[in-house]
Structure 1
Amino acid sequence: MSSPSPAHREVIGIDIGGSSIKFGRFLSNGDCTESLVLPTPQPALPKAVYAQLAHGIDLLKNSACVAIGVGMPGPADATGRVAQLAINLPQWHDIPLADWLEDHGQLPTVLENDANCAGLGEEWLGAGRNYRNFILLTLGTGVGGAVF
Structure 2
Amino acid sequence: MRGFRFRLEQLLGLRAAAEEETARKLADARRAVDEAQSSVDRIVGSEAELREQVGRAMWAAGTVGAVQNLDVVREQLARQRLAAEAELSRAEGELTEALENHRRAHQEREILDRLRTRRSAEWRVENGRREQAVLDESGRGRGAAAGDWSS
Q: Same fold (TM over 0.5)?
A: no
The structure in which a higher percent of residues are strand is 1
The structure in which a higher percent of residues are helix is 2
TM range (shorter): under 0.3
- Compare CA radii of gyration and give the structure with the larger one: 2
1 or 2 for the larger relative contact order (CA 8 Å, sep ≥6)?
2
TM-score under structure 2 length normalisation: 0.17
